[in-house]
Amino acid sequence: MAKVVLENVFKIYPGDVTAVHDACLEIQDQEFVVLVGPSGCGKSTTLRMVAGLEDISRGSIFIDGKKVNDIPPKDRDIAMVFQNYALYPHMSVYNNMAFGLKLRKYPKAEIHKRVMEAAEILGIVDYLERKPKALSGGQRQRVAVGRAIVRKPKAFLFDEPLSNLDAKMRVQMRAEISKLHNRLKSTMIYVTHDQIEAMTMGDRIVVMKDGWIQQVDTPLNIYNQPANQFVAGFIGSPPMNFFKGRIVREGNAVFFDEGQFRLAVPEPAAGKLAPHAGQDVALGIRPEHVHERGERPEADPARVVPATVEVVEMMGSEVYLYASTGRSNFTARVQAACRRQIGDAVEVVLDMERAHFFGGADEKALL
């Protein structure tokens, strides 16, 4: 139960590798925060600095108001769940969970009570006497979570705990960890490279890239108002489409000119984009905001894009059309009734109200 605060935290590895740049983050008590980003972006490093497994090169980390830079992991009162479970192979499930409590010299009865309680919550009561060897991946990860729970720590740290599980198990454990969070009401920091896990589990999401925090916000805000093109492309599946082009102003009207087609930008975006006239930008639009012309018969011709179908993916409830305008490729999520074939010429309508524009050296959102 604690607030975790990162203040201008840097991690510089020997050889001048800066894995984390100037991270500032305030995680509230009882909050579930997910760090997400592509491989090598510094998520684990950030988490490990909170755990105390890595030194903090610069800046400070506070847990529950106390600066922990120089406090060893065992005195930070945190628990961590590792990607590889990291169970002690020679100990029974019971002893795996009890180990940390024994080291902290808890009375036997208290240890027993806590282990049984955790085992109950996680549904592993039947395996307490087994060795990790005799457990499935999902059961092992439960034990690893149990080992964290029994300690009743101030904060839980998870480093990609589900990535060794198969898809079905992952979905199940995802829900269980969320439930656990509701039940325990403790601070949790969760690292993943899976944006679906991030979207479904986090109260807030921290998107990282190359050691820099890109955006910190609720899942919906991140989805609807990505701060830059990287976040826009990283969160969402299938990912957001991007068209490269230029802002053109004609009188009061503002257009996005791709070269082969031109799209009218509606208000209020037009007003905000007007000052960027002549600038190269990227138009971003999510696949669900791209429709077949047939679905929007009355659409304004100034938001229609001609394209050629390249791949058709039937998802059952809907169809993903992968198409090309000749210069850019994009994806449209269209109705299941769609019977397009590869090579068909189609016209798609863009929901320009939902379009994002990114520009400048840092590809920031312009709206």
Partner 1 sequence: MKRALGWLAAGAIALGFLLPLLWMLHASFRPEAEVFTGGFRGLFSFRGLGLDNYAAAWRRAALGIGLLNSILQVAGILGLGLLFNSMAAFALARFEFAGRRLLFGLVLVLIILPVEVLAVPLLLTVRDLGLTGGYGRTLAALVLPFAVKAFNVYFLRQHFLALPRDLEEAAVVDGAGPFRIYWSVALPAIRPALATVLVLDVLTHWSDFIWPLIVCTRAETRTVQLALANLFTQPPIQWGDILACAVLVTLPVLLVFRLAQRHVVASDLGAGIK
Ligand X SMILES: Nc1ncnc2c1ncn2[C@@H]1O[C@H](COP(=O)(O)OP(=O)(O)OP(=O)(O)O)[C@@H](O)[C@H]1O
Binding residues for ligand X (CB under 6 A): 13, 17, 19, 37, 39-45, 193
Q: Which member of 9, 44, 132, 145 binds Mg ion (CB under 5 A)?
A: 44
Neighbouring C-beta atoms of residue 281, cutoff 10 Å = 22
Interface with Mg ion in residues 212-231 (CB under 5 A)? none
| Residue 82 vs 106, nearer CB to ligand X | 82
Query: What string of H, E and C letters represents the secondary structure of 9-39?
Result: EEEEECCCEEEEEEEEEEECCCCEEEEECCC
Per rule CB under 5 A, is residue 45 in the interface with Mg ion? no
| Residue 160 vs 217, nearer CB to partner 1 | 160
In the bound complex, which residue of the shown chain has the CB atom lying closest to ligand X?
Answer: 44
| Residue 44 vs 331, nearer CB to Mg ion | 44
Residues that bind partner 1 (CB under 8 A): 51-53, 73-74, 78-80, 82-91, 99-100, 103-104, 131-135, 137, 140, 147, 151, 164
Cβ-Cβ contacts under 8 Å for 58 (sequence gap 6 or more): 8, 9, 10, 12
Q: Report the side by side order of strands in the sheet with 329-335.
A: 290-292, 345-350, 304-314, 318-324, 329-335
Sign of CA dihedral 65, 71, 72, 75: negative
Least Å from the CB of residue 229 to Mg ion: 24
Least Å from the CB of residue 41 to partner 1: 20
Cβ-Cβ contacts under 8 Å for 45 (sequence gap 6 or more): 11, 19, 20, 54
What span, in angstroms and rounded, lies between the C-alpha atoms of 41 and 43?
Answer: 6
| Residue 46 vs 328, nearer CB to ligand X | 46
| Residue 34 vs 111, nearer CB to Mg ion | 34
- Indicate the DSSP class of residue 228: B
